[in-house]
């Protein structure tokens, strides 16, 4: 009898062991939760709070199936749109939807390219806790908020997981800001419940780097070598105004008022008299004066007249003025 009883008990246990492979009346099969639903936005069920998070509303039959599977909490799901090959992840808020239907945030439907009434595949998932996430706002307006970090932390409290490639919505001050999930670690989908996650920001999509204005190079005050060579005055000797020992004004009155070059030219012309004029002045001094010093002083005026004047030879040193002694004006001590 004991053996029979044991056999009966074993037979009674066998059907229960095969329940995972059997149909439970709701279309669920296997040891994991996998089901296809028609999706609708949260506005169809009058649940506006769904738009500020990533949680969906499922039918009560899903809760019964999940409870029988003894899955880990929090409940996380993989949402897949086979038509568009889009995948995301979400949590669950309530189990009050009609059978065969689920309600999800409209921004999540946009990520999955879903419209009202489209079929979506739901599967339970176990995600690792996130350690790093990189976000990228769509517009620079999000950075203009007084404290964007605090607003983001408050918003992410309503999220249970993040998926690389998704765009989440942050509502603040009656305005919606969309932020892309650029990168997540340690995997492409992470759980952000009760975890310390490092957050990094990428430049907004509409951000343009300001054009760097090239600093105008001020013209150098120091002249270049060529300019210095041009501006450097050349040395011109004897360019000052002439002064006579007798106090009379110089004949060339324009020398002092002229330019250095002109003064040089005038000085050269005044300093270099011709040989003929020198000879004529010397001859005139010999004839008119009573005392004549130098060779030929005893010659009479007739002898000087008979001596033919020789043509002046070109002297290489004619440019140098000859020294003439006692050519100044005479003064008497008597007054």
Please provide the DSSP assignment of 84-106 as one string: TTEEEEEEEEE--SPTTEEEE-H
The answer to whether position 215 is within a domain reads no
Q: Is the pLDDT of residue 179 over 80?
A: yes
Q: Which domain holds residue 195?
A: 132-201
pTM of the model: 0.55
Q: Is the pLDDT of residue 40 over 70?
A: yes
Choose the final residue of a domain: 176, 201, 226.
201
Whether residues 164 and 103 fall in one domain: no
Q: b or e along 215-252 (b: 16 or more beta carbons within 10 Å of the residue's beta carbon)? A: eeeeeeeeeeeeeeeeeeeeeeeebeebeeeeeeeeee
Q: With beta carbons less than 8 A apart as the criterion, state whether 132 and 162 touch.
A: no
How far does the chain reach from its first CA to its final CA, in angstroms? Answer: 181
The answer to whether position 17 is within a domain reads no
Q: With beta carbons less than 8 A apart as the criterion, state whether 202 and 182 touch.
A: yes
Q: Given this model, what pLDDT does residue 109 score?
A: 94
The answer to whether position 45 is within a domain reads yes
Whether residues 141 and 108 fall in one domain: no
Q: Is the pLDDT of residue 226 over 70?
A: no
Q: Is the pLDDT of residue 160 over 70?
A: yes
Q: pLDDT by residue (tens digit) across 129-140?
A: 999 999 999 988
Q: Cα(97)–Cα(80) distance, rounded to whole angstroms?
A: 19
Q: Cα(18)–Cα(16) distance, rounded to whole angstroms?
A: 5
Strands 161-163 and 189-191: antiparallel
Q: pLDDT by residue (tens digit) across 88-116?
A: 999 999 999 999 999 999 999 999 999 99
Q: Helix (H, G, I), strand (E, B), or coil: what is residue 137?
A: strand
Choose the final residue of a domain: 76, 103, 124.
124
Q: Given this model, what pLDDT does residue 237 score?
A: 76
Count of domains for the chain: 2
Over residues 1-9, the mean pLDDT reads 36
Q: Given this model, what pLDDT does residue 123 score?
A: 94
Whether residues 56 and 87 fall in one domain: yes
Q: Helix (H, G, I), strand (E, B), or coil: what is residue 154?
A: helix
Q: Given this model, what pLDDT does residue 313 score?
A: 55
Whether residues 184 and 141 fall in one domain: yes
Q: With beta carbons less than 8 A apart as the criterion, state whether 118 and 39 touch.
A: yes
Minimal CA–CA distance to 74: which of 56, 91, 51, 52?
91
Q: Is the pLDDT of residue 275 over 50?
A: no
**CATH number of domain containing 44:** 2.40.40.50
Q: Given this model, what pLDDT does residue 143 score?
A: 84
Choose the final residue of a domain: 179, 201, 223.
201
Whether residues 148 and 174 fall in one domain: yes
């Amino acid at each position: 009898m004991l053996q029979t009883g044991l056999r009966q008990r074993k037979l009674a246990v066998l059907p229960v062991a095969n329940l995972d492979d059997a149909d439970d009346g709701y279309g669920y099969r296997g040891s994991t939760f996998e089901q296809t639903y028609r999706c609708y936005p949260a506005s169809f069920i009058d649940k506006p709070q769904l738009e500020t998070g990533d949680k969906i509303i499922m039918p009560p039959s899903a809760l019964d199936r999940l409870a029988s599977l003894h899955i880990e909490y929090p409940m996380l799901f993989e949402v897949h749109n086979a038509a568009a090959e889009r995948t995301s992840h979400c949590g669950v808020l309530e189990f009050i939807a009609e059978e065969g239907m689920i309600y999800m945030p409209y921004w999540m439907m946009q990520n999955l390219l879903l419209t009202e009434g489209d079929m979506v595949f739901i599967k339970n998932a176990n995600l690792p806790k996130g350690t790093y996430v990189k976000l990228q706002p769509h517009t620079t307006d999000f950075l203009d908020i007084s404290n964007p970090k605090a607003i983001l932390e408050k918003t992410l409290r309503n999220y249970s997981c993040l998926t690389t490639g998704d765009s989440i919505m942050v509502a603040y001050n009656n305005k919606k800001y969309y932020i892309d999930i650029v990168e997540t670690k340690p995997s492409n989908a992470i759980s952000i419940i009760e975890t310390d996650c490092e957050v990094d920001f990428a430049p907004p999509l509409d951000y343009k780097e300001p054009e760097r204005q090239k600093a105008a190079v001020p013209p150098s005050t120091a002249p270049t070598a060529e300019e210095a060579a041009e501006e450097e005055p050349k040395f011109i000797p004897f360019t000052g105004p002439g002064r006579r020992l007798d106090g009379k004004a110089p004949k060339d009155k324009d020398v002092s008022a002229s330019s250095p070059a002109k003064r040089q030219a005038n000085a050269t012309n005044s300093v270099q008299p011709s040989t003929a004029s020198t000879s004529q002045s010397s001859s005139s001094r010999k004839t008119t004066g009573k005392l004549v010093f130098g060779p030929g002083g005893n010659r009479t005026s007739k002898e000087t007249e008979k001596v033919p004047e020789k043509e002046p030879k070109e002297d290489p040193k004619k440019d140098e003025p000859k020294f003439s002694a006692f050519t100044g004006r005479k003064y008497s001590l008597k007054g």
